[in-house]
Structure 1
Amino acid sequence: MAVSKSKTEKETPSKKSVVKKDVKEQKTTKAAVKKEKTQKEDEPVKKAKTSTPKKADTKKETKVEDKKTATKAEKVQEDTKIAPAPEGDLEKSIKQKLIALYSLQVIDTQIDKIRVIRGELPLEVQDLEDDIEGLKTRMENFKNEIATFEKTKTEYQHDIAQSKELIKKYSEQQKNVRNNREYESLAKEIEYQDLEIQLRNKRIKEVDVSIDTKSKQIEELKNTLEFKETNLKEKKGELDEIIIETQKEEEILLKKSKEAQKIIEERYMSAYNRIRKSVRNGLAVVKIERQSCGGCFSSIPPQSQLEIKMHKKVLVCEYCGRILVDDTISKIVESNQ
């Protein structure tokens, strides 16, 4: 029995060791499984981590592209806008621009005046020529009417002569009548012809009156026509003299205007032309007169007047949109003219 116990005691510890080994093996397998799981879970994270630098690279690329587009936009702005002048020369550059704009306005105003003067005279000459043509046509019409009246008058006179001949004929026939009935019929014919003569004489008098009135009208038209023709000759002479005088002056002023336009920047020229077309008097650049705009005569605030005198930027009237200059600019331009 003692031997069997010892055997069992020996056997039991071996079983325990086996169990422990199994437990250890299970733990190791569980640990291996966990490692595999963690490795699998960590793989997408690693991939994500590895992919993040790609996103960073794309962000860098987009930033570079944005910088390129920004530089392109800056270049376009630099091309379209005026290059900024140095701080010390800013007032000087704006002043030069204002002088150029105001001198161009003075030249264009002189051209406008020449064209207005020359534009009125041709219209007057044209009106006189139209009046003369109208008077001539009226005279021709009156003459034609007088001719028709004369024709009708001759017809009436011819009718009177025929009636007289018939009266003479009927009176001769009365001498050879056989009865009273023939005599009375001839007497009625003679009476009818007498009435015809009276009627024709009346018509002739009416025609004479109308001929007289038309003749008087023709005389009046002749007088007015002579006056208009003399006036037309004078106006044509004046027009020819003005064309000879102003044509040379206009050509000189047009050359000056083109030279002045070359100095002025394109954006200022477009604004200048736009304002000139929109206003009636063609004044796009005006000076301040009595603290008011020289174009629309609206009052200008003192702060705006001060800014205009400082010549730091080109300012316009807030009511009419005209470019405003001060007395210093206008005096410089007027002294150079």
Structure 2
Amino acid sequence: MHTVALAVTDGMLHFELSLASEVFGAPPAGVDVPWYSVAVCGPRAVRVGRFLLEPDHGFDGLTRAHTVIVPGWADVDQDPPAALVDAVRAAHEAGARVASLCTGAFVLAAAGLLDGRRATTHWAHTRVLAARYPRVKVDPDVLYVDNGSVLTSAGKAAAMDLCLHLVRLDHGSSIANAAARRLVVPPHRDGGQAQFVTTPVPAPGNHPLGELFPWVIERLDRPLTVEDLARQANMSSRNLGRHFRSATGTTPLQWLLTQRIRHAQELLETTDDGIDSIAAATGMGTATTLRRHFNRTVGVPPDTYRRTFRAQRPTPAAPATT
């Protein structure tokens, strides 16, 4: 079983800690796959926000974990405790995947795990992070950064995005989407999206693009253009681009490509359809086009992705008997 260790000490932000516990603590309903074992690791009873928390293990438990989550660090003007920094460094050296949520990036930076790496944190603290740790390549404009064994996220909602990204890496897109539905959050936002957008992806009826998003999702098999989207939204292409940037932090074409890739992932995980059929169903046209965009976006070819996650398809829960 994959162990996720939450590294805690006095001064952690309780929202990020609770968020990680919620994502990794239990599988979505109806999904029958080996889920995570969550361990809270800290030196003693610690104060997290307004609460006292009794850890399950000491910091030595981090070195036995597969994934270590470092929640937000409340006081970025103070150096994080040396014991926490040393334990996080030791966990990474032992082979753990280490991820920070929000200002937890300051702990990873203090441990030297971000030296020479691209990283992010809450937009309000990116300048402080860059000034204090000049060897870190701080990117203030993204939701999260995945460096393989070291990951960082921006604040609050972006921390959820990173946690779901980890679930997606471990279990595939279908199960990550099921986890998102259980938590009643959007199923996916790319790490490269902008941190600061004026609204989340809008619901129908309360935003100029609210009706457009579901209209597009239902027509991913069609060769849609920006002009098609603008016509459906009853606005100019330039105005459409402004609204898209405000709502999603990206362009209409990039957003559309992301939806096509995510749909392809679900089809690869849950159907036996060939690559040509999936290319048609996702509006990619040809298998060659699908493979090129899929490999560039996901990092592996569609066939490799299918082999990796096919064994992890969700199994419906058995019906209750009386």
Tell me the TM-score normalised to structure 2 length: 0.22
The structure carrying a bigger strand percent of its residues is 2
| Bigger CA radius of gyration | 1
- The structure showing larger relative contact order (alpha-carbon pairs under 8 Å, at least 6 residues apart) is 1
